[in-house]
Structure 1
Amino acid sequence: MNATAPAPDSELLEHPETRTALRRLTLLVRGYLTVSVVTLVAIVLLRNHSGVVNSAVWIRGTIVVASALVTTVLAARAARGSRGAYRRLRIISAVMVVAIVAIIAAPGPFPLWMKADQAVCGLALIGVAVVANGARLRSLFADGGAATAQRG
């Protein structure tokens, strides 16, 4: 992995197909952040109901908001051409999807409402992973960069 690779050519970043892909990525990440923050607010409001909010819900809700904030920053930096942010976004979106599947599938301390919330977050992150791993963005952010991206 070449940490000093130059940013993609600004002409390629402004290509309509690239802008569309980056806009979709940003919208999906913002949706993930919105759902995560609303969930944390619900956790705070329902904190006195132990059947609905337990310590596992508090921990997971906080982790998800932190992850959503990180992915939001990474998506914004990737949209400005940061290869490192793009790579991190691809990794975090995939890791979080795996974690969400584990939470939904495993019996345990998470109430049904939290599993449903995680499913919504998972759908947004699957969308992020699909867009981020699409040929257009992979080509744009490839090491060696702009020479490999399609201009047309």
Structure 2
Amino acid sequence: MDLEPVITKLDRIAGGRAAGEKADDELVEHPRTRRAFTWISWLLALELLIGLAALVVAIVLFAQGTVLAFPVWMRILVVLGMTATLFYFAWRAQKGYRWAYSRLRLFSKIFPVITLVMAAIPGLFPFWMVTEQIVFSLILIGIADFLDSDHMRRVFRRPE
């Protein structure tokens, strides 16, 4: 089963007109680039684990009769959806696509701000979820740090 046509369409939706632009293969295969993406992948896997743990906690609490507000369930779904999207961006960026690097870099900076602002709203989320949001944000800030390194910006800079 050839998934390339589907992936190409997804890239076109996510990357727009620049969907086909790639960074230099030599720079993408550089050991520092590979190492950065290895760390980013592990951090995203940790994000996924945290999101799944939040889902398990919510299900257990619900099974015990605790009523969880709608924002709690939405937060869980959004975190899992965001993480899946970030994995896609990271995968495509590892292949050298500039648009994917750009999206991953942007969202790893925006999501922590949104998450921390929501965590600061009194009474919106239970304490365990506020803690989860803070940890989630810190991990994303770590991902942004890898993406903002001089080396990574040089790898994915726009051609002149």
Aligning the two structures, in what range does the TM-score lie when normalised by the shorter sequence? 0.7 to 0.9
In the alignment, residue 52 of structure 2 is paired with which amino acid?
A: V
More helix by share: 2
SS in 1 for 2:22: coil
1:49 aligns with 2:51: no
Q: 1:67 aligned to 62, 82, 105, which one?
A: 82
In the alignment, residue 64 of structure 1 is paired with which amino acid?
A: V
Contact persistence 1:5–1:144 (CA under 8 A): no
Q: 1:114 aligned to 120, 129, 136, which one?
A: 129
RMSD of aligned Cα (Å): 1.8
1:32 aligns with 2:47: yes
Give the number of equivalent residue pairs.
Answer: 143
SS in 2 for 1:144: coil
Deviations 1:92-151 (A, max 9, x none): 111110111102222132111000011111111010111111111111111118xxxxxx
The corresponding residue for 1:90 is 105
Contact persistence 2:90–2:100 (CA under 8 A): yes
SS in 1 for 2:79: helix
In the alignment, residue 78 of structure 1 is paired with which amino acid?
A: A
Cα distance in 2 for residues equivalent to 1:8 and 1:137: 11
Contact persistence 2:51–2:79 (CA under 8 A): yes
In the alignment, residue 99 of structure 2 is paired with which amino acid?
A: G
Cα distance in 1 for residues equivalent to 2:84 and 2:57: 18
Cα distance in 1 for residues equivalent to 2:57 and 2:121: 23
How far residue 5 of structure 1 moved from its aligned partner, in angstroms, is 6.6
Contact persistence 2:41–2:90 (CA under 8 A): yes
1:21 aligns with 2:36: yes
Cα distance in 1 for residues equivalent to 2:149 and 2:17: 21
Contact persistence 1:5–1:143 (CA under 8 A): no
Moved more, 57-66 or 21-30: 21-30
Cα distance in 1 for residues equivalent to 2:21 and 2:105: 19
Contact persistence 2:21–2:99 (CA under 8 A): no
1:77 aligns with 2:92: yes
1:130 aligns with 2:145: yes
Gaps of 5+ in 1: 146-152
Contact persistence 1:33–1:65 (CA under 8 A): yes
How high is the TM-score relative to the length of structure 2? 0.82
Instruction: Identify which of structures 1 and 2 has the higher relative contact order when contacts are C-alpha pairs closer than 8 Å and 6+ apart.
Output: 1
The corresponding residue for 1:148 is none
